[in-house]
Amino acid sequence: ANVPLFEQIRTPSPDYTVPLTGRTHAEDGGAAHVAGLNFGRPGEQQRCVGCHTGHSLIPVPADPADAQFTNLAPAAAITYSSIYALINPSAEALIDRQVLKGRIIQYWRSDPNQDPAGQWVQLAFPVPITVRAVRLYNPRFGDEAQSTLQVEAATVILYRDKAATQEVARNRVGPLAVSGTAAPFAEVRAQAVRVIVDDVTGTFETLRVASLAEVEVIARGEAAE
């Protein structure tokens, strides 16, 4: 204890090769370690910097309180006003964190037989969350969908309850960027987030629809009520 370290596996045997984790042949030598919880003295207060600090381009927040906020959208249950019949009815592409990498034809989009204006998606969380921002991503242009679709305006509504009956805040943003457009909030406690596509131009696979590439909810989880 008392020293941050990696434990290197060794042996007194001569000419021993340290095995690389996951390899099955001794001649394919490498390194192995045990990542122990031996950072400091028992009872000593420490600041978590992440298991792989230095291995990521994400900066460690200067204020430890900021580290409590992250994208919680993947934990949400998704509902929507309508969906294109030929895509996954779960609409999981809205929260799969593959906004710029996933196939564009997997993006949620509305039923082309309905007016795209006013279409919505909703994320409900199993516990209350404190929301700082909701980031909305416009679908990529071109690609296999030959998309020219542009969300010109969208409204984000926060609800205190999971059933989305008690509105607590809203913010209107637009036009949306492919790289994401944030709707900021003053750390509002909520349990459901609805995104309404107010105005859209262009087409997706030649169809007039509403669409979003991704929804991120930058928030902190709270204790269940």
Identify the H or E element spanning 220.
strand 214-221
Start-end ranges of CATH 2.60.120.260 in the chain?
A: 70-221
How many Cα atoms within 13 Å fall on the side-chain side of residue 146? 4
Number of Cβ within 10 Å of residue 214's Cβ equals 23
What value, to the nearest 5°, has the Cα angle with vertex 78 and ends 75 and 79? 160
Number of Cβ within 10 Å of residue 151's Cβ equals 27
pLDDT, residue 102, reads 84
Using alpha carbons, list the distances in angstroms from residue 70 to 36, 137, 219: 26, 17, 6
Q: How many residues does the chain have?
A: 225
Q: Kindly report the backbone phi and psi dihedral angles of residue 135, in degrees, each rounded to the nearest multiple of 5, phi listed first.
A: -105, 125
CB of 106 within 8 A of CB of 180? no
Mean pLDDT of the chain: 85
- Taking the C-alpha atoms of residue 90 and residue 86, their distance in angstroms, rounded to an integer, is 12
**pLDDT of 17-64, one tens digit each?**
655 554 445 555 455 555 555 556 666 666 665 565 556 666 777 888
pLDDT of residue 16 exceeding 80, the answer is no
Locate tokens 């434990």: which residue? Answer: 7
* pLDDT tier, 110 (very low <50, low <70, confident <90, very high otherwise): very high
> Of 147, 123, 158, 142, which is closest to residue 208 (Cα–Cα)?
147
pLDDT, residue 183, reads 98
Please list, residue by residue across 53-91, b when 16 or more beta carbons sit within 10 angstroms of its beta carbon and e when fewer do.
eeeeeeeeeeeeeeeebebbbebbebebbbbbeeeeeeb
Burial (CB count <10 Å: 0-12, 13-18, 19+), residue 31: exposed
pLDDT, residue 23, reads 45
Structure tokens given for 88: 């996954």
Locate tokens 């978590």: which residue? Answer: 48
CATH class belonging to 70-221: mainly beta
pLDDT of residue 84 exceeding 50, the answer is yes
Looking at the chain, the whole-number percentage of residues with pLDDT higher than 70 is 76
- 83 residue type, one letter: I
- Least trusted range by pLDDT, from 19-23, 113-117, 210-214: 19-23
